[in-house]
Amino acid sequence: MIMINLEIAALSAAYADGSLTPEAMLDEVYARIAARGERPTWIHIVPQADAARQLEAASARKAAGADLPLFGIPFAVKDNIDVAGLPTTAGCPDFAFMPDRSATVVQRLIAAGAILIGKTNLDQFATGLVGTRSPYGACSSVFDERYVSGGSSAGSGVAVGAGLVSFALGTDTAGSGRVPAAFNNIVGLKPTKGLVSTSGVLPACRTQDVVSIFAGTAGDALAVLQVAGAYDETDAYSRKAPPAAVQPASWPVGFRFGVPADGLEFFGDEAAATLFRSAVERLTALGGTAVEVDFTPFRDAAQLLYSGPWVAERLAAIRGFAETKPDSIHPVVRGIILGAATISAADAFDGFYKLADLTRRAEAEWAKMDVFLLPTTGTTYTIEELLADPVRLNSNLGLYTNFVNLMDLSAIAMPAGFRESGPKKGLPFGVTLIGRTFADGALATLADRFHRAQALPIGATGRLPEGPALQVEASASGTVRLAVVGAHLTGQPLNHQLTGRQARLLRAARTAPGYRLYALAGTSPAKPGLVRDPDGAGGIEVEVWELTETAFGSFVAEVPPPMAIGTVTLEDGGTVKGFLCEPIALIGAEDITGHGGWRRWLAR
């Protein structure tokens, strides 16, 4: 086997420059699967000859001029999602049926050129967060076979974590698109409910289910969501999302991220607690401000998912089968689903009322924050521990995930380091960013920054992310983005020239290499000069602001010589308008490039 990088951008670039063919990619993917073995990750694998035919069809459409954003990208789907020509088992052989057509989301991905490799194992009927409740075998973490993989989208998480496919679809009702991400050191994007069609997806709780996306990076996950997410009139729960929902978005300096004031529980896993504290520090270093919030309404809502009426939805999804063939259902799953038979309509309304009350109480906490940071799980367990105590330990894993769909929130789980001590040393830990409805693109943007700041490998591959960082879309029509470096920064004497024009602070950033910063002589107020220099180290702090074109024009009219407005390249490769300086102004100026920015030089 050769080491092919399966990141979407990397594969696409390799195909474009001829250094890799999609046929060679398929050869390696199938070689990796053969080396690892079919079970327990997979329930059905598409024969390589059939995958090659998918590729031939996509190649023909591409040659005819079709736009295929996922051309030649290998993926997998959880086996509660229909694929024409393959049985849907939901992890229960006696339940299996052959669908007439593929789920809408699968159709969209294949239409975009993606290559389906197979269907993955799951906690039966998508009931569980552990990956041990399947007759096809218990999945384990790609880092230690003694520990659970997370579920219910167990095989999908493992397939990405082991480097077998570029991305995989799961489903998420209680956290099944996030817990496997944490336990396999990958990204798990849980979209807003209704953003991705669930037509052709076997329900767990139909009102709460979403199709989730596992990938190596947040950028890859968002690229898939941009294809997968679309309104589907055949799905009664599909929603028309604003275009911005699936686009990258800037985060201003000082964005507020919530952390529980108390109530954080790590179940004795001190290494996990340490890593969460590090995650708070890292998000602060990225420009965020931590604010304490009351976790109580979120925690109480989380408990409703399995103690309230939503368990009855699981029974409704498979009632006929559950009542006629109960012995075909995994004992733990059977106990949960058939236990819902005693829930009455009055119980259901009581649950709806309680959830509405908790959601209203949570509004007071959302007023304090722009995004919520939580551990994806407080800890992890061995397969042996889960088999011995399946319900209680599963419930522990859902503490920070169960409430999200009930409260109609968006979320993305991301890697946050490895335990360095204790009995679980070497196992990955993950955190989740939670946002409001349709904040999916914004969350992915922040998650990408957080992930790349840690220099963590993708899954267990040992390979660091190589694809480009997630880029923010160009300015909205009628606006201009401007980088400022000195007296116009927040809190500096000329910042009013921006705020007085209703400019909006987008984010802090740094310049690319090739720039120097000087403290100019004889200026009042004191001003710096940013100058292009091929030998300049760059990395100079700037703030990026957004103004209307009219406001930008009036602003430029006030810029005095020797200052000028030009184009500045940022460290992420993006370009914006920005302050530059004429060389004549450098007479008597001090080179302050090594200080990193104007504020640091002033502080000196």
C-beta of residue 70 within 8 angstroms of C-beta of residue 113: yes
CB 156 within 8 A of CB 116: no
Residue 337 phi, psi (nearest 5): -70, -50
Task: Decide if 197 is catalytic.
Answer: no
Catalytic hit among 12, 78, 102, 250: 78
Spatial separation of the C-alpha atoms in residues 433 and 436, rounded to whole Å: 10
Q: Contact at 8 Å (CB) between 179 and 401? A: yes
- What type of residue sits at position 459? G
∠ CA(129), CA(298), CA(367), 5° rounding? 135
Q: Annotated catalytic residue: which of 12, 141, 176, 410?
A: 176
160-170 in b/e burial notation, b at 16+ Cβ within 10 A?
Answer: bbbbbbbbbbb
Residue 366 has φ and ψ, to the nearest 5°, of -65, -25
Query: Which DSSP symbol is given to 124?
Result: G
Which residue, 524, 508, 512, is CA-closest to 570?
A: 512
442: nearest Cα among 185, 241, 158: 241
Crossing angle of helices 218-228 and 104-111, in 10° steps, is: 110
Strand arrangement, sheet containing 590-591: 528-532, 515-519, 590-591
Which helix (H) or strand (E) segment is 251 a member of? none
d(CA 268, CA 410): 28
**Residue whose C-alpha is closest to residue 177's, from 418, 381, 398:** 398
Neighbours of 201 (CB within 10 A): 26
152 is catalytic: yes
176 catalytically annotated:
yes
* Contact between residue 167 and residue 220 where contact means Cβ atoms under 8 Å apart: yes
Backbone phi, psi, residue 33, to 5°: -65, -45
What distance in Å separates the CA atoms of residue 481 and residue 474, rounded to the nearest whole number?
A: 9
Find the helix or strand (DSSP H, E) in which 299 lies: helix 296-307
Of 11, 181, 40, 206, nearest to 118 by C-alpha is 40
> How is residue 601 written in tokens?
């030089």
Q: Which amino acid is at 112?
A: A
Neighbours of 259 (CB within 10 A): 19
Check: CB of residue 109 under 8 Å from CB of residue 70: yes
Taking alpha carbons only, the member of 216, 161, 170 closest to residue 191 is 170
Out of 152, 153, 166, 410, the active site residue is: 152
Report how far residue 99's alpha carbon sits from residue 203's, in angstroms, rounded to the nearest whole number. 15
Q: Active-site positions?
A: 78, 152, 176
